[in-house]
Amino acid sequence: YISIFFFFQAEDGIRDFCLSRGLGDVYKRQIQINDSDSKIIAVRLLEIVKRENLPDLQFKAIQALTHFTSGTTQQIQPLIDKGGITFFINLLNSQCPELFEQAIWVIGNLGGDGAQYRDMILKYGGLDPLLKIVDSAQKQTTIKHGTWALSNLCRGRPLPDFRLVVKAIPTLGRVLINSEDPEVLTDASWALSYLSDGDEARIQSVIDTGVVSALVRHLDNPLLSILIPCLRTLGNILTGSESQTNTVLEAGALPKFFQHINHERRAVRREVCWSLSNVTAGTPEQLQQIIGNQEYFQKLITLCKTDCTEIKREAIWVICNSTNQGKPEQILILCQNGILELFNEFLDADDVKTVAVILEALFNIISCGNDHYQENGENAFLAHLEKINCTQKIEKLQHHKSEEVYNKAIKILETFYETDNII
């Protein structure tokens, strides 16, 4: 039995191990453990940690179990079967910093192993003592480790039950506002990106922490591990109500978005475009903040014409959304800045969603022309589409393999054109 224990004693605590992390992924502190006899080892160590009459031996066993929980799911399961999760949740309430620090590592490792263990920790009440530790922590290392463990409990797919993690939002918000530690900011921002992914109630719970200004401030951070989750969280908030969207805009997010619209990393440009598409889908007043700025709008047009296919598609969505709620004078500005020519070019695209959303935008524009922009009894926008040979392309889309594209093309032709050539 003693030889089993010393197998783990070679390393002095898991704190020294490197991170293994991908952007947005739940992750664990990782080491290598031999699969042989893992069940026997786990059970024996759990027996030792319960021997409070031998505190030194108990602490070494807890250290060993901390190592153990960075292994594979198969290696961890025997520990779970013997009540390991409940034991380490209880250990979070210890008055001994060395013990609850080890418990934080275990809870973080288990939460990072997958949704099954994460949800067990949450259902068994593991969040409350962890929040208490982070909220009262004076040591930076405790804040760092606690935030990492919190992050693993709040994210992943499928998302955890929001009712079980909502109490973590104020703590994560405070950490993001007050910390300058890159690892802490990474963990807190990714957790908030998951927690803000949902309905307006979820979004409001994030806004209520006062974290929006900090999220915007961190858009200046050069680290992608911080920049991308902050963009994602702000994008989530922008999907909310008019007032929730205004919270982001009033915090000065737009200049930051356009600062990154030509970022060298495609993932950043994609997140920026998604956020902007949520703005242009909003009220006319929100839309005006983009199309009323000639520099912003021209950057979008350039992105549509020059970037890779994926980003072109995202940028097209930004502009197409502008036609949904835009006032007539805003639609006119869009057309004067060349979006009809842009749409005409992209009607030949292979991507079905791109073609479909352009057809929907064209319907909105032509409808606006019918109601507000007649020249000598003729729809000015429709006349321009015919001039640039866009009408012929719409007619050809009657033969498109996609039913969605076909239906949208037919809707335009039946509503605004003579119907002789419709099939």
Pairs from 131-139 (Cβ < 8 Å, separation ≥ 24): 131/167, 131/168, 131/171, 133/92, 133/100, 133/104, 134/171, 134/175, 135/171, 135/174, 139/97
Q: What is the pLDDT of residue 67?
A: 76
Q: What is the pLDDT of residue 22?
A: 34
Q: What is the pLDDT of residue 31?
A: 45
Quick one: DSSP state of residue 347?
T
Consecutive H or E run containing 378: strand 378-379
Q: Is 140 exposed, middle or buried (0-12, 13-18, 19+ CB in 10 A)?
A: exposed
Q: Which amino acid appears at position 183 of this protein?
A: E
Query: What pTM did the predictor assign?
Result: 0.86
Give Cα 169 to chain centroid, integer Å: 15
Angle at 108 between CA 268 and CA 30, to 5 degrees: 80
Helix (H, G, I), strand (E, B) or coil at 399: helix
Pairing between strand 19-20 and 378-379? unpaired
Helix (H, G, I), strand (E, B) or coil at 51: coil
Q: Are 100 and 141 in contact (CB under 8 A)?
A: no
Q: What is the pLDDT of residue 14?
A: 30
Give Cα 55 to chain centroid, integer Å: 43
Q: How many CA atoms within 13 Å lie on the side-chain side of 24? A: 14
* Rg from Cα positions in the chain: 28
Please, what sign has the CA dihedral across residues 36, 40, 46, 50? negative
Cα–Cα dist 5/375, whole Å: 88
Q: What is the pLDDT of residue 180?
A: 93
Give Cα 45 to chain centroid, integer Å: 39
- As averages over each run of 10 residues, the pLDDT of the chain (423 residues) reads 32 30 41 58 76 74 78 78 87 87 90 91 96 95 96 91 96 96 96 95 96 97 97 98 98 97 96 97 96 94 92 95 94 94 93 94 96 89 94 93 94 84 50
Tokens 């921002």 locate to 189
Helix (H, G, I), strand (E, B) or coil at 320: helix
Q: What is the pLDDT of residue 343?
A: 96
What per-residue string of b and e applies to 345-365 under the rule 16 or more CB within 10 Å gives b?
ebbeeeeeebbbbbbbbbbbb
Alpha helices in 54-199 (DSSP H): 55-68, 73-81, 84-91, 97-113, 115-123, 127-136, 140-154, 162-165, 168-178, 182-195
Residue 189's alpha-carbon distances to 172, 214, 246, 381, in angstroms, are 8, 10, 20, 45
